[in-house]
Structure 1
């Protein structure tokens, strides 16, 4: 049973993909965190970096976008009097203040601006239009060679000149009428973009990908989905109209309007699953657990036996835990939307046959992912190295922010270090002639250590300096906070 649950609110929309009562993907769109991947902007070259074969483009965002020379070739050929398959260096193609139209490939992250390209793509449900190309591609997920040839021949016959098309997985089994309607729609979209290029200002959006609900219907809703349940009546009818225009009308029977009084994400117990996906530890049904940690360079996943003590022998216990981890890890990657380099440290296996079983199980479950991924190999240390394409933001970006105490370190200063800091500060301040009394306000943990171990020392020390002293508890229980108050 596969379901898509869609929640539409004033300032936020959510979509959840559920398979066999398990949350597999959770998508978020907020007004304050607009998705920009796929958007096409009119930009201006801020500076060209020959040594990096790239340029920085002002598209009106906080940070300039990054354009690599190979992502510029199609624009060069069509708009800058370039030649096909040009190998000219970027400094011969672009100059400062040149205008260029770019599409967002990757969103900004950290200190990096957005990655942009001039290889424009306009996606539909069955086809992706490549306006500056003349190429026909077919999704690798369509395996049947006869069907691949049928689709290729069909699209070659109806494709307009001087545009390219990618045939998406959902096109399998479809007839001419679906493609003809969509090609007409996509070409019209591109014509509108071209018409607006000369009229647009720098930083203006020429094309914006559809909102979350429409993207879900276009990219995820398919024959494999049993039902799509949405809590907004207006969007419900928009989806029905879209299905009737671009898909089989019987698909509209899978669309259902949620009418319960309870909030839809609570009704389907989605919020609690999202909360679990924000934690480092993931418990497996067998009693083992995963530890998932994100660093600047990569994602590390550690597999542990935990409470799984097994029934027969160590090898069987390890294999059982690793196999369950191989099923859960792909789910967690999709749910958390983790990407880049991923290192998986399965529990050590001595039997080669067991290693092969775990690897096959991992590959089988990764194949269900909509996002491209690739297992590189087992390293010499027995770790699995893999990659997952970066698409959108990690789930944690929408719900977590950097701790104001630890500033991203993951740790705060220990209570013992705080206490010693207070003592040194008191000794320093006691030298001041205009201070007669020092009052320490401390959170509970700091107060307890000061009161039980150091109070007498501080009191004696200050008396020797003709100062008085007072210790008081702050009404803060969770942090190692303190405050020093001075009286003259």
Structure 2
């Protein structure tokens, strides 16, 4: 199975697509300067303590105050508060904890009013990004994620991922980490640490301890709302979490991002540096790898299945609803049960992909086509469980009910990815009335004449919709060939399916768009 990461630079940041066997399975839109990413640590100020909720609302700089429940304070909250006061009073230099005397764990069933008061400052970590009308969700149980380990300050516990099943390997990793970890730091050993030697684990641990110490240095002079420790960019965090898999290539179309990614890969896995490649093709990188088309087909309300069935996906404030339909598949099978099983199996695989692709969280209700055979129902349940194994978000799947409904809860830590796939007509801007589309060819030819004859442009490039591209280029003596005979200059053309049928743009030899009057 091939894994490829495609990174496309945009004006505001970058778009990241993860492909498995050329099929889009994850899509992220990362904007520069975006705040409140999961994992970021801020210095917050308590704005309100609500005894009835046993929670507090914290100001971290978002429009709405963030939510912090008592259970999210963590057992070592007393140690965190004591350490914060000592650091800000400059009685402790840096973030070293070897000489720090921890406080006892707080009461599991205590009240938040005993620990927090209005205007109190407290370091907090984002565990859920702002979603809909809600502010961020916070925790005071701070942790720093590395490639192989997770560092937990103020704890001394060392735990191993349950997915590492070998008792010998678990003992080896526990012994290694206990011998190298600093005092008063706990460590969670991630699944990908299996089989790694002490040098790699030590390098990862030292990197996280350094990040913690740098953050605590900033804490000394930090003001309320300041970010103390920032999580990696989405690109880097994807590489950190997934580079252990059989990654074949990372393609980047921007020189700066390429250098950043290459440097990051070199720091965490030097042997993988060669897989990072700079894309220099003429077509847009998402167009070249067929991602643009997959995005348009995958994010609509209706999603087609290869076998002829289709899904209808509806979103509400409370939950997501997915309806499975057989479409024209019903004409091909022997009987209704066979048809239902065939469509439901294909739908189960696509639904697992859709949940990951759209990052749909909360409650998901799926209305599968009715089946009578209990074994078939169990097969659908097993299929969707197996398909969701690779999903990093935690989820719970319930078997099909007697009404043919399946309920899934999936961890929601950031807003759902939603891409508008219906295009507003570029000519009428949604009014419903346009000038005749056939006139676009005349308009393009007028602009070509103006640019080649009057402005004397060299190496002119014309970007158009694939339909218009075909109109100008097909045939032995195409329209483009006729332009060459007329103007004695070749016009390069590129297809861009993100453009409307009547949209077009001209680019100069530097690749910059030429503004037309």
State the TM-score, normalizing by the size of structure 2.
0.74
Choose the corresponding residue for 1:105, options 127, 143, 168.
127
Which entry has the higher C-alpha Rg, 1 or 2?
A: 1
CA distance in 2, matches of 1:374, 1:149: 30
Q: Check the 8 A contact 1:120/1:132 in 2, yes or no.
A: no
Alignment of 1:36-435 (within 5 A): 36-74=37-75, 76-80=77-81, 83-86=104-107, 87-247=109-269, 249-309=270-330, 310-396=332-418
The answer to whether the 8 A contact 1:67-1:115 is kept is yes
Structure 1 residues 192 and 400, CA gap change in structure 2 (3 angstroms): farther
Structure 1 unaligned blocks of 5 or more: 404-441, 445-488
Aligned residue for 1:111, secondary structure, equals coil
Distance 2:189 2:155 in 1: 14
Once the 2 structures are TM-superposed, how far is the Cα of residue 206 of structure 1 from its aligned partner? 0.6
Secondary structure of the corresponding residue to residue 157 of structure 1: helix
CA deviation after TM superposition for structure 1 residue 316, in Å: 0.8
CA distance in 2, matches of 1:135, 1:75: 12
Query: Could you tell which deviates more after superposition, 268-277 or 135-144?
Result: 135-144
Q: Tell me the distance in 2 between the aligned counterparts of 1:334 and 1:379.
A: 23
Is contact 1:35–1:392 with CA below 8 Å preserved after alignment? no
Aligned length: 403
Report how far residue 117 of structure 1 moved: 0.6
User: Does the 8 A contact of 2:36 with 2:126 survive in 1?
Assistant: no
SS in 2 for 1:302: strand
User: Using the alignment, how far apart are the partners of 1:126 and 1:98 within structure 2?
Assistant: 35
Contact 2:147–2:240 (Cα < 8 Å) also in 1: yes
Contact 2:76/2:106 (8 A) holds in 1: no
Distance 2:187 2:309 in 1: 46
Judge which range, 209-218 or 280-289, deviates more.
209-218
Deviation at residue 391 of structure 1 after TM alignment: 3.0
Which stretches of structure 1, 4 residues or longer, exceed 6 Å deviation after superposition?
none
Decide whether aligned partners of structure 1 residues 159 and 399 sit closer, same or farther in structure 2, where only a CA change above 3 A counts: farther
Mapped partners of 1:168, 1:176: distance in 2: 14
Q: Assess, with a 3 A threshold, how the Cα gap between structure 1 residues 118 and 400 changes in structure 2: closer, same or farther.
A: farther
Q: Is the 8 A contact 1:375 1:384 kept in 2?
A: yes
d(CA) in 2 for partners of 1:66, 1:164: 25
Equivalent residues of 1:29, 1:35 under 8 A apart = no
2:28 counterpart residue number: 27
Structure 2, unaligned runs of 5 or more? 83-102, 425-430, 434-517
The 1-side partners of 2:11 and 2:432 are apart by 40
Of the structure 1 ranges 281-290 and 8-17, higher mean CA displacement relative to structure 2 is found in: 8-17
Q: TM-score, normalised by structure 1?
A: 0.78
Instruction: Give the structure 2 partner of residue 6 of structure 1.
Output: 7
3-state SS of 2:329 partner: coil
Alignment deviations for residues 222-259 of structure 1 (CA, whole Å, 9 cap, x no partner)? 23222211222333333333333322x32222222212
Q: Determine the C-alpha separation between the residues in 1 that align with 2:321 and 2:10.
A: 35
CA distance in 1, matches of 2:58, 2:245: 41
**CA distance in 2: counterparts of 1:169 and 1:237, whole angstroms:** 29
1:326 alignment partner, SS class: helix
RMSD (Å) for aligned C-alpha atoms: 2.2
**Superposition deviation, residue 159 in structure 1:** 1.4
Q: Contact 1:289–1:304 at 8 Å: present in 2 too?
A: yes
